[in-house]
Chain A
Amino acid sequence: MTFLELKDLRIHFPTDDGLVKSVDGLSFSLERGKTLGIVGESGSGKSVTSLGILGLHKGGRARISGEIWLDGEELVSASAEHVRTLRGKKMAMIFQDPLSAMHPFYTVGAQIIEAYRIHHKVSKSVARKHAIEMLDRVGIPQPDRRVDSYPHEFSGGMRQRAMIAMALSCDPELLIADEPTTALDVTVQAQILDLMRDLQRDFNAALIIITHDLGVVAELSDDILVMYAGKAIEYGTSEDIFERPEHPYTWGLLGSMPRLDRERTERLMPIKGTPPSLINVPQGCAFHPRCTYGDRTGGKSTTEVPTLLESEGGHLVRCHLSGDVRRSIWENEIKPNLEAP
């Protein structure tokens, strides 16, 4: 049985300007011990998805439909109180900015202890010992002293480690990391990515990593989901996405990114235009105003919303172009330009 499965999840927010369709029909599944990378630009719905899985939209303005199955339990219809008992213990989250995710008035230790004692009936001293162990596990030096430090006394990298310790303190089976390294310097980012990889192996958790950085995704993910305007537009193994990408948006992302592991190209190949507003998502394929290949779909891209279809061996693509056309465009028009002559 799959551990986490989303079926046609929709999260819409009514606003004065109109209905914001942040997540619009998202489905994917994830096994224990596997890592899924969700990639997309700001406003593509990746963070809203993760908060939705954790049940953090409950009680708010959001209109949620679809199904979220976590280990045999459906969460969209579950009560907020029930989801609360799962949060922390069954699933946990690492947030982007550890300084705003931690309470400045309480010590780091107190915050980990609090989370642990909500789910375990243990004394404060036992919980404190556990907090020290967790801080040690994530590589905080002198954890028995640092447990009594306040968040502001930690550096950015240490704060992110403490956040990870907090998220892992109840041994969650699903861990969602939302831009876990975006706020960090590159040498510290490398440390945190290593740490997450090691911890996932040890805890055998299912990991969802949300980021806009394709490099970070390639470092950690088994599978990758590319989102655009609230929808999945491509899904596959990381080899599929990086070696044989089939959606024009994914090509655009790869062409936009200068790469250190290749010879320098003279020009970057950006995507034209800007991401759409989620209130007025373009008719037909949401990507068509920015797509260079729309004219090869016989006019379908402006009228019909494409469906997410299997291309080859579990590689899903939402595009009107036929598989053969896509593969030939990638091989002949895109790939050669990504490599310097």
Chain B
Amino acid sequence: MTDSLLSVQNLQKHFPITKGMLKRQVGAVKAVDGVSFDVVKGETLGLVGESGCGKTTTGRLITRLIEPTGGKIVFDGHDITHMSQGRIRPLRRDIQMIFQDPYSSLNPRHTVGAIVGAPFRIQGVQTEQGTKKAVQEILELVGLNPEHYNRYPHEFSGGQRQRIGIARTLALKPKLIIADEPVSALDVSIQAQVVNLLEDLQNELDLTYVVIAHDLSVVRHISDRVAVMYLGKIVELADRKSLYESPMHPYTNALLSAVPIPDPKRRKDRERIRLQGDVPSPLNPPPACRFHTRCWKAQEICSQVEPPLLALATGHQVACHFPENAPASGDVAVTGAGAVTAEGALQAGGAGDAAPGEGPAGKGTASAS
């Protein structure tokens, strides 16, 4: 990758579990366990997964809000993995974060002007026209009235608060923005406003986004490439089109097929992949392939050998022994009754006009590299 702005290699974060007075470590929650990806300048990378998959932790590691256990984070040519607070501070101008909850991420005792102006103060940035003018310009940019400068957060609605948060993020013209569930706390009609705002800002200011979200439709709308996480690992990473049209990992297939579709005519003929049970605890994840306990395609090898995240010629990366939509998917052996029904469901889904995530088997023309 020539112009990758952010490069994450084998990133790990293990939260220790301690016991007793001496804080003896008895275990670790492997929240993020070997995640690697690159973010190219100007693109949007979506990180999706269910709760507990480590997507938020990944975001916090990149912004260095928490200290990584292992791996490497390279931002704009600097290795920031273990950079000291003092040395990383100047770089923080360039990496900013949008938080999920616009109620808890704004200090209720500070005015909007103080909140959005804080980055200038902290970084010691002097602007030609003065901080107030600069803040008011940013407020206008995110669709707020510059006269709101002296108001407090409680005077605003949820959507407006999220705009204040975005304004703060943009204050110092960052290069990379990590948005952790930027719209999930908002009402449907407001969500769309904020999604459009994020897109406009990206075009205007040439921003690069890492968007962390659990809503697969929102992620499809704003991302150029999407990484799917499961229990601390990336199981699939591909450009938007191939991930949503010919997903290869069974988990991605299941996720896409679980999304409720707002079309009452579809619900009768739509066959779904149903995963059993919940996501296992990251405290004690299943060995080898972490998805094998819930996977309908799992075979013996899945519980013994961990499938590596392999890149195909098309750039589609997947970590699975028996991927869907693979070049040789016709040859994949199917065993067990559960597997047969699931396979049938897949085919039924593929036949019914383009139900999400279920292209006909073999549609993906990717070849292994």
Contacts and interface: CB of A to CB of B under 8 A. Distances in A.
Interface stretch (B22-30, B77-85, B91-99, B215-223): B215-223
Interface residues of B, number: 47
Contact of A269 (B192, B261, B265): B192
Contacts of A193: 260
Contact of A257 (B51, B199, B262): B262
Contact of B274 (A190, A239, A265): A190
Contact of A261 (B263, B272, B274): B263
Interface in A172-208: 185-191, 193-194
B262 A267 contact: no
B260 A270 contact: no
A253 B216 CA distance: 18
Count chain A CB atoms within 10 A of each CB in B51, B187, B218, B256 and give the residue with the most: B187
A186 B192 contact: no
B145 interface: no
Nearest to B193: A270
B254 interface: yes
Interface string B206-233: 0000000010111011000000000000
B254 A187 contact: yes
A147 to B, nearest CB: 18
Interface residues of A, number: 49
Contacts of B272: 190, 194
Contacts of A190: 257-258, 260, 272, 274-275
B278 interface: yes
Given A187-B50, A260-B217, A270 B264 contact: no
Contacts of A272: 193
Interface string A259-278: 11100110111111011000
A185 B51 contact: yes
A156 B278 contact: yes
- CB-based closest 9 A-B pairs: A215-B260, A270-B192, A256-B192, A190-B258, A258-B221, A185-B50, A238-B264, A268-B192, A271-B189
Interface of A: 41-42, 141, 155-158, 185-191, 193-194, 212-219, 221, 238-239, 242-243, 252-261, 264-265, 267-272, 274-275
Given A157-B278, A264-B220, 7 more contacts: A214-B262, A217-B262, A256-B189, A260-B259, A260-B261, A260-B356, A274-B190
